[in-house]
Homo-oligomer: A and B are copies of this chain.
Amino acid sequence: MHGIMKPDRKIMIISTASVAGREEEAGPLGGSFDLTDTKDDSFGMKTWEKAESEMQRLALGLALSKASLTDDDVGALFAGDLLNQCVGSNYGLSGYKIPYFGLYGACSTAAEGIMLSALTCDAMPVRAAAVTSSHYCAAERQFRYPLEYGGQRTPTAQWTVTGSGAFIVSSVEEDAEKRRGTRVPVITEWLPGYVVDRGITDVNNMGAAMAPAAADTIKRYFDGGHSPEEFDMIVTGDLGHEGSDILCELLLSERIDISKVHTDCGKLIYDAAAQDKHAGGSGCGCSAVVMAGHILRNICDGVLNSILFIGTGALMSPLALNQGSSIPGIGHLLHIKGEVL
């Protein structure tokens, strides 16, 4: 899988759901999320971690019910998040009786989960689900400071998205039959990433740490015979404003100009002028809710036709940084096309 993977079967994203918080609801994509807690981001739970689990439970439940599916209809569940030991997923999804594969891909988890779902769907006619989440309050106290501390953020700092996205991927013929004549997002290619570490150590500049990994995967994809002009959109997961600029520059130095079609879920989710979010959104939930709520919907509606989605992740831990290590990044690429079945 060092090269671009093309499935033998038709692999469709047959259902998605997005659950998000107050700040996300207030942003430019607010209207696109299925369910939001506009009160206090607690989703009725007593701790932020439990709120994050609850978001995942709700997101998968919604994605299943939108497609009129039950647990039995889905053969594999790929899920992970940023919390230590991925407890957002482990607890949030423990009520579902679906074979469970825990992932840790940091903020690339949505892309990793969709890719492994696609791989599973290529091996056999089956449905697989990918779920991930992040919660601003849980992430801040785990990775940086508890909110009560009131720590200042630097201009390159990003804002962890409170949100969860769920995706149901299918290669089941019956699902295609049911959707005849409708426009469905189809996963036509994928290219998994290598771990790339360029020596960035600033935990308040994750965009810079992840951009080289995204650039590496995108370059390998275009070296495989594609060009940026083929796509309506090349969207990265959560490089934010800072990381997006770095990505475009890195690729330009390789004579690949994606600037006309590039955007980033971390740039789209908040209003840079009206919301005090510095370098933009980040976290597992960032690309998950933007893809599930906004971009895949645009593909279904025909607003977008052919896109590249590169899920980006920073694979460090606070302890590793305290021990002097730099931040390894990863970028997993999916080519998704709107197709009238």
- Which residues does chain B contribute within 8 Å of A47, judged by CB atoms? 323
Q: Which 8 A-B pairs have the closest CB atoms?
A: A99-B192, A85-B317, A123-B123, A90-B315, A1-B75, A104-B104, A94-B195, A102-B104
A76 near B: Cβ within 8 Å?
Answer: yes
In the complex the two chains form, what is the Cα distance from A84 to B81 in whole Å?
11
A105 near B: Cβ within 8 Å?
Answer: yes
Partner of A103, one of B83, B102, B122, B330: B102
A231 near B: Cβ within 8 Å?
Answer: no
Shortest Cβ distance from A82 into B: residue: B85
In the assembled complex, 18 residue pairs joining A and B whose CB atoms fall closer than 8 Å, in A order, are A2-B98, A2-B99, A84-B85, A84-B317, A85-B106, A90-B316, A91-B325, A94-B195, A94-B315, A101-B103, A101-B105, A102-B104, A102-B315, A102-B330, A103-B103, A103-B104, A119-B123, A122-B124
In the complex the two chains form, what is the Cα distance from A126 to B192 in whole Å?
14
Contact B2 A192 (CB under 8 A): no
Contact A195 B100 (CB under 8 A): yes
A window 214-229: CB within 8 A of B: none
Contact B316 A87 (CB under 8 A): yes
Looking at the assembled complex, report how far the CB atom of A84 sits from the nearest CB atom of chain B, in whole angstroms. 4
Contact A101 B112 (CB under 8 A): yes
Contact B323 A49 (CB under 8 A): yes
Contact A49 B85 (CB under 8 A): no
In the complex the two chains form, what is the Cα distance from A99 to B1 in whole Å?
7
Known pairs A1-B120, A84-B318; list 11 more (Cβ under 8 Å).
A2-B75, A2-B98, A49-B319, A49-B320, A85-B315, A86-B104, A91-B328, A102-B105, A103-B103, A120-B123, A122-B123
A93 near B: Cβ within 8 Å?
Answer: yes
Per-residue interface assignment for chain A, residues 1 to 38, with 1 indicating a CB less than 8 Å from any chain B CB and 0 otherwise: 11000000000000000000000000000000000000
Contact A1 B192 (CB under 8 A): no
- Which residues does chain B contribute within 8 Å of A82, judged by CB atoms? 85
A277 near B: Cβ within 8 Å?
Answer: no
A185 near B: Cβ within 8 Å?
Answer: no
A window 100-157: CB within 8 A of B: 100-106, 112, 116, 119-120, 122-124, 126
Contact B328 A90 (CB under 8 A): yes
A175 near B: Cβ within 8 Å?
Answer: no
In the complex the two chains form, what is the Cα distance from A100 to B115 in whole Å?
12
In the complex the two chains form, what is the Cα distance from A84 to B1 in whole Å?
28
Partner of A97, one of B49, B75, B112, B194: B194
- Which residues does chain B contribute within 8 Å of A96, judged by CB atoms? 195
In the complex the two chains form, what is the Cα distance from A2 to B100 in whole Å?
10
In the complex the two chains form, what is the Cα distance from A212 to B193 in whole Å?
36
Partner of A319, one of B87, B104, B195, B315: B87
- Which residues does chain B contribute within 8 Å of A86, judged by CB atoms? 104, 315
Known: A84-B84, A90-B328. A76 touches B320 (CB 8 A): no
A230 near B: Cβ within 8 Å?
Answer: no
A197 near B: Cβ within 8 Å?
Answer: yes
